[in-house]
Amino acid sequence: MRLFDTHAHFSDDSDIAAIERRALDAGVVRILAVGGSDELNRNALSTSGPVALGLDRDQMPFGDEDHRNLRRLIADNADRVAAIGETGLDFHYGADTADAQRELFARQLALADELALPVVVHTREADEATIETLRAAPWRHGGKLRGVIHSYTGGPAFAGRLLDLGFCISFSGIATFRSADLVRDSARYVPADRILVETDSPFLAPVPLRGRPCEPAFVVHTARRLAEERDVPFEDFAEQTFINSCHLFGVQPC
């Protein structure tokens, strides 16, 4: 069995070596360490695998120098960078900064286009703005539209619009929560070749590990629940999501 945790964050006090060791013991053989701020970008680069580097929706105020610094960081680590992100829109906590979020998101999409990299997208209570920003991005018209909507929390209708734009959909431990019927509906809806799994660690620990700091090894529980929902063998689902992830992020299978 092989699993790929497509979204994990690491803090300054993370014991990265121990976390990676526990993940490998659990069959999680690939982890995408995801940035989004100076700290998260730096810590992602402290891991041993592929990384996503970017500026997330809460990194404001931002300016040209911030983007120049990000570009230098990516250039200096080009052999490790598999995606731009995390970036996106969150109007649940940041409705008052909606315009600035959209500007930052658009600039990150333009960077993804320039570097021909997929993008890791966060969206919460911003469905229409997310669709509009993605459609307005120039890379949509250049045949490079690819990326993932991470930790998906919406229904099948919104998922369908994102799939039509070319995106993969990733599910976190939320899919195991008792109240997450809508998310599970979406997990059954997404085609087999477009579904990914993640932890979004250190957040969103899945059932039966609620209340604990999440880590990549826990993605096994999410994948198992999703396999049950989709009525497919767990080993087959794990392998399918692993191959999907490797293809999206340009990572060689182990």
Residue spans per domain, the chain: 3-249
Chain segment 22-52, per-residue pLDDT in tens: 999 999 999 999 999 999 999 999 999 999 9
pTM (2 d.p.): 0.96
**What distance lies between CA 8 and its chain's CA centroid?**
8
CA 145, 86, 26, 182 dihedral sign is: negative
| Contact in structure between 134 and 163 (CB atoms under 8 Å) | no
CA 14, 15, 17, 20 dihedral sign is: negative
User: Vertex 114, ends 244 and 80: CA angle to 5°?
Assistant: 55
CA gap 215, 11 in Å, rounded: 12
Chain segment 229-252, per-residue pLDDT in tens: 999 999 999 999 999 999 999 998
Which overall architecture, per CATH, does domain 3-249 show? Answer: Alpha-Beta Barrel (3.20)
Residue in the block written with tokens 């695998």: 49
Chain segment 123-182, per-residue pLDDT in tens: 999 999 999 999 998 776 566 668 999 999 999 999 999 999 999 999 999 999 999 999
CA 135, 137, 140, 144 dihedral sign is: negative
Q: What is the pLDDT of residue 55?
A: 94
CA proximity to 197, closest of 214, 178, 179: 214
Q: What is the pLDDT of residue 93?
A: 83
Q: What is the pLDDT of residue 249?
A: 97
Torsion of CA 204, 135, 64, 250, to 10 degrees: 60
For residues 57 and 161, the model is more confident at: 161
CA gap 222, 215 in Å, rounded: 12
